[in-house]
């Protein structure tokens, strides 16, 4: 009787799970484990971290689901590279199975685990699970990785078959789940050194149940996704990103639904899932993007050393309402609407002239759905340093973006109540409101709300000059 250990990581569900399926199908006795990896947790800046609370609650739900199937989840707190081999030895399994991770640190960790297991005579197998296509499954006709999204998407869709969207039938082999060893208990959030956050207040429901609830709700709205997705005050997006990040939903189920429904809303949403795969394969083929520009010539761009301006951006004190409202949203909730991510990233890099890596790090610390590949890809896109990036001369105007995507200021007023009485005509640029009207609105610029920290027109000229050093000229000016 062969036995195996399934190591859960960013795949906290008991259905349509590649590693769990393969383990159950090929082994008579299958244990399941999750490790709160201290290598990762000890590096977090705060002990109150929404992601850790989300993971912990999802682990509790996963344990309950596995127990209902006759198994359970063995949970440990320590360095995963040491814990997993030790656990495999203690359980006497012949193999450890896990779903693949594509981040450089995870690849190094898995290599370490594989070697330790080899010494013990235990196999280590990994499977594709968190993406539809990985590594080199979608290549150019010249057999090289894509660096531009649109041709990648065309090739992705051309490669796609029903097989790639098929669910792994875990339940068919669930009888192979091994009961928990005696004395196994789940550590509390406090046991692993963390504190509760405001997840409940925010209405964020972790686990498979939370993912299912959001997905079912979004399917009712998916037809309107293309028309509504850019407006942060409107319920237009899926809100599934944190569930995708921790695998409490199945990427295959999501893509299968979008592909099957069709229509411009579902097709646009499927494109967002393709973007996710695109950035994963960029990270896999070009791990140098961590800490460096995808386009090496842009490493020569000279960013400003402006700690006071960076602090104003982080603390929502820029004087540009759409930027400040977005930053208050992320600081309060760990979520930021995608259109707003583009606006604030463009503002940091193109208006404030600050290195995109500082913004990338701030998002990495704050975002519930932080994913290394997508966060890096998004920041390099906005900074014009990445693959298929926005051209450096296309510079977001924060006022016109605000007028276009929050026309009546609903989103701004939600997060900046000090601007509540500012008329719609001036809500996007309140410093243009005459002083007497500022007093009437209860919002004196420079007292109740900051004056703009930079002049956009002047900042734009500086950005064109900054990038002109790289390109040799600052022509083809364009503003959005």
Spot the catalytic one: 267, 272, 418, 461.
Answer: 272
Token pair recorded at residue 214: 């959001």
Coil/strand/helix, residue 419:
helix
Cα dihedral angle (148, 153, 155, 157), rounded to 10 degrees? 180
Q: Which of 338, 403, 418, 431 is catalytic?
A: 338
Rounded-to-integer distance, Cα 266 and Cα 221, Å: 10
* Active-site position among 156, 269, 313, 379: 379
Catalytic residue among 275, 284, 313, 381: 275
CA distance 149 to 137: 15
- Asked if 231 and 404 count as a contact pair (C-beta separation under 8 A), the reply is no
Active site residue 338: yes
Closest by CA to 450, choosing from 346, 316, 359, is 316
Catalytic residue among 125, 303, 431, 461: 303
- Which residue, 306, 336, 421, is CA-closest to 324? 336
Which residue reads 């409202």 in tokens?
325
Beta carbons within 10 angstroms of residue 183's beta carbon: 5
CB 330 within 8 A of CB 323: no
Is 303 noted as a catalytic residue in this protein?
yes
Known catalytic residue at 397: no
> 272 catalytic, yes or no?
yes
Mapped onto helix, strand or coil, the DSSP state of residue 208 is helix
Query: How many whole angstroms separate alpha carbon 7 and alpha carbon 96?
Result: 7
- Cα 341 to chain center, whole Å? 11
Q: What is d(CA 337, CA 454) in angstroms, rounded to the nearest whole number? A: 24
Separation CA 20–CA 32 (nearest Å): 8
Set 7, 269, 356, 381: catalytic member? 356
Question: Is 356 annotated in the active site?
Answer: yes
Burial of 455 from C-beta contacts in 10 A (0-12 / 13-18 / 19+): exposed
Helices (H), 286-367: 307-314, 321-333, 338-346, 356-366
Q: Which helix (H) or strand (E) holds 382?
A: helix 372-383
Catalytic residue annotation: 272, 275, 303, 338, 356, 379
């Amino acid at each position: 009787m062969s036995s195996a250990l399934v190591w859960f990581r960013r795949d906290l569900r008991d259905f349509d799970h590649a590693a769990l399926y393969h383990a159950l199908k090929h082994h008579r006795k299958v244990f399941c484990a999750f490790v709160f990896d201290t290598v990762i947790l000890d590096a977090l800046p705060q002990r109150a971290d929404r992601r850790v609370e989300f993971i912990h609650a999802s682990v509790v739900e996963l344990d309950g689901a596995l127990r209902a199937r006759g198994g359970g989840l063995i949970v440990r707190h320590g360095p995963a590279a040491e814990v997993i081999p030790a656990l495999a030895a203690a359980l006497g399994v012949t193999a450890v199975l896990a779903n693949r991770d594509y981040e450089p640190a995870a690849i190094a960790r898995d290599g370490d685990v594989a070697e330790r297991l080899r010494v013990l005579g235990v196999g280590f197998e990994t499977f594709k699970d968190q993406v539809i296509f990985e590594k080199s499954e979608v290549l150019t006709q010249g057999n090289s990785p894509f660096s531009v999204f649109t041709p990648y998407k065309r090739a992705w869709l051309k490669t796609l078959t029903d097989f790639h969207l098929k669910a792994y039938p875990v339940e068919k082999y669930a009888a192979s789940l091994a009961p928990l060893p005696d004395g196994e208990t789940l550590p509390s959030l406090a046991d692993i050194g963390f504190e509760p956050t405001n997840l409940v207040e925010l209405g964020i429901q972790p686990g498979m149940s939370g993912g299912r609830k959001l997905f079912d709700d979004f399917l009712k709205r998916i037809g309107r996704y293309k028309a509504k997705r850019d407006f942060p005050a409107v319920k237009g997006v899926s809100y599934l990103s944190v569930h995708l990040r921790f695998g409490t939903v199945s990427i295959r189920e999501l893509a299968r639904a979008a592909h099957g429904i069709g229509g411009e809303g579902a097709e646009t949403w499927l494109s967002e899932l393709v973007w996710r795969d695109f950035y994963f394969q960029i990270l896999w083929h070009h791990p140098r993007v961590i800490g460096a520009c995808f386009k090496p010539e842009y490493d020569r761009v000279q960013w400003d050393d402006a700690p006071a301006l960076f602090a104003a951006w982080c603390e929502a004190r820029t004087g540009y309402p759409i930027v400040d409202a977005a930053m208050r949203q992320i600081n309060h909730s760990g979520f930021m609407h995608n259109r707003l991510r583009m606006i604030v990233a463009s503002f940091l890099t193109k208006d404030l002239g600050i290195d995109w890596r500082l913004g990338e790090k701030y998002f990495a610390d704050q975002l519930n759905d932080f994913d290394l590949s997508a966060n890096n890809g998004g920041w390099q896109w906005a900074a014009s340093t990445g693959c298929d990036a926005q051209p450096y001369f296309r510079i977001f105007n924060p006022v016109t973006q605000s007028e276009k995507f929050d026309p009546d200021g609903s989103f701004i007023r939600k997060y900046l109540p000090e601007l509540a009485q500012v008329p719609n005509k001036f809500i996007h640029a309140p410093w243009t409101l005459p002083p007497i009207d500022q007093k009437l609105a209860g919002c004196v610029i420079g007292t109740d709300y900051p004056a703009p920290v930079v002049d956009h027109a002047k900042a734009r000229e500086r950005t064109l000059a900054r990038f002109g050093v790289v390109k040799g000229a600052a022509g083809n000016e364009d503003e959005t």
